[in-house]
A and B are shown apart, each in its own frame.
Chain A
Amino acid sequence: MEHWFSWLDSYTEGIVVGVAVGFFVRLRMLRTDYRQYPTYLHGQLIHISLGFIAAGMGAVAVPALIEKQYTAVTFLALAAQQFREVRNMERETLDKLEQDELVPRGASYIEGIALAFEGRNYVVIMAAFLSSLIVIEVNLWVGIVLGMVLVGVAGLLRSGKYLGQIASVELGELRMEGPSLYVNDIYLMNIGLADNRKRIMKHGIGVVVSPASKDSRITLANLGQRQAILHDLSVVLGIFRDTGEPSLIPLSKRDMEDGRLGILCLPEEKDVEKVLQVIRSVPVLESAVRIPSEDPTKQFRRGGKSG
């Protein structure tokens, strides 16, 4: 009888530690920042609850496997289904909110956010699984230490690259040539009314973003990435814009010769340093990343077969 108890104990310990680690990993990766998403409390509650469920699944999978209850693993497939649903939910919500934004996020940004939500639940499952496994197979304390390490690592994994790491961001000079608006030598748009020209020259700030490499050149060309820059600017620094003012629109155009990006921003507070800082810390969207520098002809030269 005592033997049976000690067995149950190590399982219970494993599950408890696993759930706790998974839960803390989710908490650590859930952050409300300037993007204001998830919004306070209600959005967070949803994700904390889902994180808890994910942690439970990861933690319980270990005893199930040890007991040779292999069918229990099929529940993980169910979990995957569930979390794909989370991604859809996020996408739908953000898509709906998009209509109410003066400067929309853009589909790529939304997809990136939705992907992150799904992916983070899998990280939670893995963290819970690992720590539960270690508690049951090694001992309680090693499992707890590993759990703490995992929570720390999750914090590091949370953020990806920033625009400042793949491109240089500099102030540019806005100028009008007849009806044409330029930032340095990059053409932006045609503005008809003298009134709008005056307002854009007064409130606008021109910025030139130059790609640092062949890879980042393609990332900067991506329309979703460009929209993300404009959206982040409007969120952090406000936007000098309203409905019925179609000419006051922040936008970015590309110099097709060298891949530089000319940006017109219309911040409410005209603080040049802040504008540059915000653009440097725009996240690089996963969907905008391409790696042409990984030359595909290399594979052919090696004579390797594809597939």
Chain B
Amino acid sequence: MADSNGNKILAVITEKEGQVMGGVPVFIASDAKKREDTAFLLEKILDGMVHQLNESTFVIVHHA
């Protein structure tokens, strides 16, 4: 999953099931608050940066 710079998507947190697929852990959150909380915890655990992809999806990226 790493690109040429070594950046890597570690996880995806989304409210819309089915929007994300593929070889990455996907966490489904029921609402915005839960999504925010999960992303917060995962950021600390994975040491990856949380980016907002769209209104309902966060990706956690490890920047090399």
Contacts and interface: CB of A to CB of B under 8 A. Distances in A.
Bind each other = yes
Interface of A: 178-179, 190-196, 243-247, 249
A193 B36 contact: yes
Interface centre among A178, A193, A195 (most CB of B within 10 A): A193
Interface of B: 36, 39-40, 43-44, 47-52, 58-59, 62-63
B47 A243 contact: yes
B47 A193 contact: no
B33 to A, nearest CB: 10
A41 to B, nearest CB: 36
A191 B48 contact: no
Contacts of B43: 193, 246-247
Contacts of A195: 36, 40
A190 B51 CA distance: 6
16 contacts: A179-B52, A191-B50, A191-B51, A191-B52, A192-B50, A192-B58, A192-B59, A193-B58, A194-B36, A243-B47, A244-B47, A246-B43, A246-B48, A247-B43, A247-B50, A249-B49
Nearest to A180: B52
Q: Give the secondary structure class of A's interface.
A: loop
B62 to A, nearest CB: 8
A198 to B, nearest CB: 12
Given A244-B44, A247-B49, A193 B39 contact: yes
Nearest to B58: A192
A195 B35 CA distance: 13
B51 A192 contact: yes
A195 B36 CA distance: 9
Contacts of A193: 36, 39-40, 43, 50, 58
